[in-house]
Structure 1
Amino acid sequence: MSKHRIFTTAFSKVYPLYVQKAEHKHRTPDEVDQLIRWLTGYSQAELETQIRQQTDLKTFFAQAPAIHPDAALIKGVVCGIRVEEVQDPLMQKIRQLDKLIDELAKGQPMEKILRR
């Protein structure tokens, strides 16, 4: 696995950026949390613990209770990179979360974002 700097970045550092991006487009922190919980399988309490403990992204995803089986349906471009073509499994999970937040910020309905 390659050593991307993002892997050692604390989830607590990127989380407020996700919330800020969502709120800028009139979405809520609760919706951000819902997306994160859907993707990772964390409960709200577990998610808050990960943030409080300043867990790095590598550990955050490694400890995720269950990556949602529909995560493979997350497709599209984030930062000029096709999410479904990312080779590194950890980087792909990070990009999938980025894509979910992008869709939220673009005003897509939650049902569509959650691939229902």
Structure 2
Amino acid sequence: MQDKAAYLVVLIGGGMLWLLTALLTGRSEAWDSPYYWSLAYPMSILLAGIVAYRAPRRAWRWGLAVMLVQALVMVVTSGGSFGLLPLGLLLFGVLSLPAMALAVLVALWRNRVGKG
């Protein structure tokens, strides 16, 4: 998978996970719903791993991108409440760490299996 296609997949996928969770649960922010933590967030991590398998070069960026697009969608859909934005961005950065780790591990595994 080429980088442009990989970015497209993680950006659309991550954004849709945030939007759908918020819309389907009636929350203004997806992470206010328990379904974000039990479904959408794990699916975001999984999405980063799947894309890393297909595009293993610098795989960490897929985990970062899938979470940062959720921050962007939150800002766009929040209705202008930016008071807690710095804290939210920090939290999205922390939330990206498991996705980045999985992406790197999947890429390492793919590269090792592919050479063997």
More helix by share: 2
Please give the range of the TM-score, normalised by the shorter of the 2 chains: under 0.3
TM-score (norm 2): 0.26
Bigger radius of gyration among the two:
2
TM-score (norm 1): 0.26
